[in-house]
Each structure stands twice: as structure tokens, then as C-alpha cells.
Amino acid sequence: MKSPLSIIIWSGHFIRLFTFYLWEVLKSNLNIAYEILTPTHHMKPAIISVDVSKLTERQLLVAANMISMTPGTLSLNVTDDQHYLQIHSMYVENPKATAKELQEKYFTKVCHVF
């Protein structure tokens, strides 16, 4: 049985992940709507590989689904050795910076909850 303190800490991490994800979905929806409604295109689509070797299968599943459900991004493939997740993103200025940002934003928060 988990202690009340660990449940409170987990709940805090879950709330942080949930609010972060809602904010990301809102921002992505607004970006996509802006892209559709304006004549200019700011898209720079790319496929990036993100290191997921430190994630468990459950964490990888949750993170990949969250990425796919965020407008403008799609989880494409996990390599056979399960070290990299390939992601298509509509807005990539720098592939390495985008991969690092995804690791810091999504994967760190998912690891705290799952």
C-alpha cells in the first residue's frame, strides 16, 4: 500500500502532466488554425528521431500517444531495438533542438507519472 505522501506527490505530477498537455494541445490547435486561415505558410515539416531508450514500454506508449494526439505531430515508428521514436512534426527549425525539447517536456513528465 502506498503512503499518503507518495499519493499526494504522484497526484501533483499527474496534475502537472495533465495541465501541460492541455496547454500543448491548445497551442497546437491555435497554430494549425492560424496556418489554415492565413495565406502564408510557416510550416517546416520534418521527421525526427528521439531517444527513448530510458523509457519503459508503458511510458513509451503514453508518450507516443500523447504526441500523436497533439495536432501537428505524429508518432511514426519505434525502431526495432526500441531506442528511438520517429516523430513527424510540422514545425521543426532544428531537429536536434526539437528532439531535446520533446524529451524534456513530454518524456520527463511522463516518467514522473508512469
Per-residue pLDDT tens over the stretch 58-101: 999 999 999 999 999 999 999 999 999 999 999 999 999 999 99
How many domains, the chain?
1
Q: What range does the domain containing 20 cover?
A: 4-112
CA distance 21 to 13: 12
User: Which whole-number Å values give the CA distances from 92 to 16, 43, 74, in the listed order?
Assistant: 25, 8, 13
Give the CATH number of the domain where residue 70 resides: 3.30.70
Per-residue pLDDT tens over the stretch 26-45: 999 999 999 999 988 889 99
